[in-house]
Chain A
Amino acid sequence: SAVISQKPSRDICQRGTSLTIQCQVDSQVTMMFWYRQQPGQSLTLIATANQGSEATYESGFVIDKFPISRPNLTFSTLTVSNMSPEDSSIYLCSVDRGQYNEQFFGPGTRLTVL
């Protein structure tokens, strides 16, 4: 498996502000993934972050709203910019690990936007 930590674990933010979420993995990985889980919903992939290249965003997600950094093989950040109440969600990072590239998730960051 993988040991993945996220900071902060939760936050309450004001409309119009930005929050940067950190994801740390216990060993080097090629790709890291960022997901959004809206209240009571399933997981939706936001983007894939490779070290040394621009993140690849899924349909409906743009870099201006969700800028991502991947400075090394164990760390990534996701910023939620210019937040509105609709951004209230759990944000999860994940990595591929293991013999068959199983995907493992961090504990999530619970964001509430007022």
Chain B
Amino acid sequence: GENVEQHPSTLSVQEGDSAVIKCTYSDSASNYFPWYKQELGKGPQLIIDIRSNVGEKKDQRIAVTLNKTAKHFSLHITETQPEDSAVYFCAAAFSGSARQLTFGSGTQLTVLP
């Protein structure tokens, strides 16, 4: 089955700096890669996703890049703000009729004011 590794496990940045979280996956058949943000006491929130037919996707201050050859994808957050502090999870799936995501282990991002 699929295996997703996520790094780093914790990340502290100064407000206004950029943050990068990286994930690698093992199953070359995976073609859907979402990122979730989980704030304390809440469920995971889908913040951006990318499919294997594109290499990069942006949404305001967040972007995701995908390298299918190397089987890794990354989340980039620019101009970080304290409200970006949360746990971020990457995931991978083969977008068949029954989607079952394999999640990374999570990254605790802390944005220092």
Residue of B nearest to A4 (CB): B43
Contact pick for A43, options B42, B46, B49, B103, CB 8 Å: B103
Chain B residues with Cβ below 8 Å from A92 are 43-44
Contact pick for B99, options A41, A42, A96, A108, CB 8 Å: A96
What size tier do the contact residues of chain B reach? 20 to 34
Q: Which of A31, A33, A92, A105 has the most CB of B within 10 A?
A: A105
Chain B residues with Cβ below 8 Å from A96 are 99
Q: What distance in Å separates the Cβ of B45 from its nearest Cβ neighbour in chain A?
A: 7
Query: Are A105 and B44 in touch, CB under 8 angstroms?
Result: yes
Chain B residues with Cβ below 8 Å from A100 are 32, 49, 51, 95
B 74-113 to A, binary, CB cutoff 8 A, 1 in contact else 0: 0000000000000001000001001111011110000000
A57 at the interface (CB under 8 A from B): no
Distance in angstroms between the alpha carbons of A15 and B89 in the assembled complex:
31
What size tier do the contact residues of chain A reach? 20 to 34
Contact pick for B106, options A42, A102, A105, A107, CB 8 Å: A42
**A-B contact sample (12 more), CB < 8 A, given A48-B100, A105-B43:** A33-B100, A42-B104, A45-B101, A92-B44, A96-B99, A100-B32, A102-B34, A105-B36, A105-B44, A105-B45, A107-B42, A107-B43
Distance in angstroms between the alpha carbons of A33 and B91 in the assembled complex:
15
Query: Are A42 and B51 in touch, CB under 8 angstroms?
Result: no
Chain B residues with Cβ below 8 Å from A103 are 34, 46, 99, 101
Distance in angstroms between the alpha carbons of A105 and B39 in the assembled complex:
13
Q: What distance in Å separates the Cβ of A64 from its nearest Cβ neighbour in chain B?
A: 22
